[in-house]
Structure formats: structure tokens, C-alpha cells
Amino acid sequence: MNVHSSKYKCTVCGKFFSSNSNLAEHRRSHSGEKPFECSVCSKRFTTAGNLVRHSRIHSGEKPYKCHMCDKAFSRSENLNRHLNVHTGDKPYKCSLCNKRFSQFSHLQSHKRQVHSNKRPYHCPYCGKLFKTEDKLKCHVRIHTGAKPYSCRHCSERFTRLDQLKTHLLKSHNEGTWFTCHICQKKFSRSGILKMHVRRHEGVKPYVCSDCPKRFYTACALKQHVPVHSDVKQFGCILCDKSFKRKSDVKMHFKKCSYRLKFSFVLFPS
């Protein structure tokens, strides 16, 4: 950009802009101001353009179409990411588990969610901790009951976008099924198909940092990790026993509640 033709200067970082409106928009990156609010889910944005792109999530508008298949997207960047499905290009590699990604942002997200123990986002209702802000927002809807994603064909509403997409595919035949090339089983999401194919191929990309064990999914690795810790953070509400893993306390609770119920039958008050 020619500095001489850009007379509007940001006093914070020194950048020049061609118009006062562009400068005003840029200043919000420093102030954090988000004046544009979504009327459906109340999410706020720094620019009107970002709000318009976000609104397509609720309206279902998908103006960006793939020229290699029948899929369409609400944002151009989503289409560009999708095109890697056809090209197979995954230039970004995780240095910890060798998993590859088509986008650098996906690699960063993978490292935060799989290989990091930091959970800086906490729920104001129950105190549960999360690694990303998006996971916290999705969790909070359990407490508030908010269902911002609505079906345009019927009255169904959903807490998460992936739930809406699955509903559209299964109930209204809108979208694309993902088919396993080995057993022809169909899936509503590409991520689920990838996990399924790993089991056919025996690929276990998630490696425990404390032992040689490997896993098909990040969730399975997450469930395994507490085995190496002495911390028992999950306690039974019916007795004084505690466990390392949530799955263990759930299994115990079923037995514990059954025994409690059975004791009332044998020794009625």
C-alpha cells in the first residue's frame, strides 16, 4: 500500500489506511470492541462483514460451491479448506505424533487439545475446565438450555452445529454421506469416517508420553493418561470412593446405586 495515499494513521501501531472507516475498523483490533451482534445467538463481531458471514450458519446460506463435488459452504475459507480433501494436501505435521493437517490452524488446535494439559477456560456454572473457548461455549449451553442452530425444514433446534448437520442429512437428505472405501459403511461426518478407517488400517496416531501405548483417537488417549497419575479426581456421590477416570466412577456408580437400592428392598424402613 502506498503510504502517501494512506493518510489515516493508527496512533497505536502506526499503520496507515486509505479511509477513516478502515482505520475505525482497524482500531477495534486494539480496543476489543465488537459492536455487531448476532440476533440469533448474541455472538458479537468487530465488523459487519464478519457478522454477515456468521449469520449464514443460522440461515443455512452457502454461496461458495465446490467445483469438484456437490458440497457448498457459507464462507470462502471453508471452501478452500475443503478443497484439500480432493487434493490430499496436508503440509502441516505435528512434531509430537506425526499427524498431518491441511491447515496450520488445525495443527495448532490439535496441539492445544491433544498434547497440552492447560485448561484456561472455566465454566461459571459448574467450574469445569476447558482447553478452548469454543468448547466452553458449547458446554455452557448445557446449563442455559440455549439451542442456537435451527433446522429450516422443521421445528427442530440444536445445541451444536454438527448436530444440525447430522439432522439435515438423516432427516431431510441434505448434505453428503461419507462412505468407507473398505467396508462401504456410511457416516454423517468426515471426522468419524477417518477414525473408522484407522481401525481398518491399524493406524494409532495418538501416543502416550509416559508409556509405549498408542490409540486410535485423542479421546482414547485422554482416558488413558490418568492411569499414570496418583490423582483421583472423580468421586462417587454415594460413598467415599474416588477414581482416576470418569469412566471408572460411572461404572462404579451403577453398581453402588444398585447395591443401595437393593439394601432398601431387603431392609425397608
- 60-72 per-position pLDDT tens digit: 778 888 887 878 8
* Segment (H or E) for 28: helix 20-31
What is the reported pTM? 0.45
Domains 1-33 and 177-228 share a fold: yes
Distance, in Å, from the CA atom of 130 to the CA atom of 221, rounded to the nearest integer, reads 17
Of 253 and 160, the one with more pLDDT: 160
| Percent over 90 (pLDDT), the chain | 11
* Residues 211, 193 contacting (CB under 8 angstroms): no
For residue 40, what pLDDT is reported? 82
Angle at 84 between CA 82 and CA 86, to 5 degrees: 90
Q: What is the mean pLDDT of residues 224-246?
A: 80
Of 165 and 246, the one with more pLDDT: 165
Q: Which CATH architecture has domain 177-228?
A: 2-Layer Sandwich (3.30)
What do you get for the CA distance between the two ends of the chain, in Å?
84
Distance, in Å, from the CA atom of 5 to the CA atom of 21, rounded to the nearest integer, reads 15
- Map out the domains of the chain as residue ranges: 1-33, 177-228, 236-266
Q: What is the mean pLDDT of residues 35-64?
A: 82
According to DSSP, the β-strands at 100-101 and 121-122 are unpaired
**Residue 30 pLDDT > 50:** yes
**Residue 261 pLDDT > 90:** no
Given this structure, which CATH class describes domain 1-33? alpha beta
Distance, in Å, from the CA atom of 203 to the CA atom of 219, rounded to the nearest integer, reads 15
List of residues 6+ apart from 123 with CB closer than 8 A: 129, 130, 136, 139, 140, 143
